Amino acid sequence: MAAAGLLAQVVVARYADHTPLYRQAGIYLRAGIELDRATLASWVRESAALLQPLADAVGRYVREAQKIDTDDTPVPVLEPGRGKTRTARLWTYVRDDRPAGSRAPLAVWYQYSPDRKGERPRTHLQGWSGILQADAYSGYDALYRDGTIIEAACWAHVRRKFYDLYELERSPVAQEALCRIAALYAIEREVRGRKPEVRRSVRMARALPLAGTLKDWLEHTLAQVSAKSGLGKAIRYAPGNWHALVRYCEDGRIEIDNNTAERSIRPLVLGKRNYLFAGSDGGGQSAAVIYSLIGTARLNGIEPYAYLRTVFERIAEHPINRIDGLLPWRLMPLEQPLRQAA
């Protein structure tokens, strides 16, 4: 393989800067360096294989948390020999307890799957127990059945349904719903970063009563509109997920929404716009490995290129039973801080 600095440059350009390999090949050619796309692709595959144990360590760290935020996004994957694409998924699992006053390092763990079957998150989280903050995707339901994993829903999804309706129709009902939800978020701004017991106390005293009046208003309003209308569908979402939506009031560890996980999806969306599809399931798996390390470095304010260059310099000789020593915050704790973690 290439030198550590060049490997880091190629994978960071691809997965942090969203520069496709064919464009990178063109950039190198203009500098008088002949590196074809096939060579760069082989370096990415070999780099991902080298980094796999470290990505696994990120996954273990994430699953040590009491609460995980999750989301997923579609990924087009090329069908070999057919010239067509099918839809796979990249799943994200985030550990971030800063809003509840924790100083533990942050981490994001990506997993690739060829489909969106509910068995995928069950496999990813096998053996874990805790609070899972997610959207209302039915594939998660089996995780909650035995009570070892507790569902926490997302108020941002509730808000988005009314926001989209207001943008489309300027609905006064949607506007009223947005104002009521905004009152819940105003309370969150006051308790962000406070200890869980403080957050719970404030929410139980102030947010839970507001949420209760919102539910009553939604149910009263639903009786006056068509259940099949856009407004009816927007209204039904919250009462249908109510217990999971108000769970954040009862447990100060939980956030009001799942935006932490949604933010971790954004780099993947930008990447898809630039390189359109993964070349294979193996390419999707490589992406999950590298995104996990780049994303975790960024969450901890560590510059991805400097981090991966250092990892490539050391990992071949690093004892596998001490792989956790190469996690971003342990290898180079804030040596290369970003002005703002992405």
Which of 121, 150, 152 has its CA nearest to residue 136? 152
Q: How many residues does the chain have?
A: 342
Distances (CA, A) of 264 to 59, 70, 112, 180, 205: 15, 9, 14, 27, 32
Helices (H), the chain: 4-15, 21-30, 37-62, 119-124, 141-144, 155-169, 172-191, 196-202, 208-222, 230-240, 242-245, 247-250, 259-275, 281-299, 304-314, 328-331
What are the phi and psi torsion angles at 146 (to 5°)?
-95, 0
Query: For residue 73, what are its two tokens?
Result: 């996004």
Residue 177: per-residue pLDDT: 98
Which of 161, 100, 96, 97 has its CA nearest to residue 135? 161
Report the distance separating Cα 252 and Cα 199, nearest Å: 5
Report the distance separating Cα 143 and Cα 287, nearest Å: 26
Chunked in runs of 10, what are the mean pLDDT values of the chain (342 residues)? 93 94 94 94 96 98 98 88 84 97 97 95 97 95 96 97 94 96 98 98 99 98 90 94 98 97 90 68 93 97 96 94 96 54 38
Residue 271: per-residue pLDDT: 75
What are the residue boundaries of the structural domains of the chain, listed by start? 155-250
User: Do 296 and 95 form a contact (C-beta atoms < 8 A)?
Assistant: no
Q: Please, which residues bridge with residue 78 across strands?
A: 85
Which of 155, 171, 156, 158 has its CA nearest to residue 229? 171
Report the distance separating Cα 294 and Cα 312, nearest Å: 13
Residue 85: per-residue pLDDT: 84
Report the distance separating Cα 105 and Cα 52, nearest Å: 20
pTM above 0.85, yes or no: yes
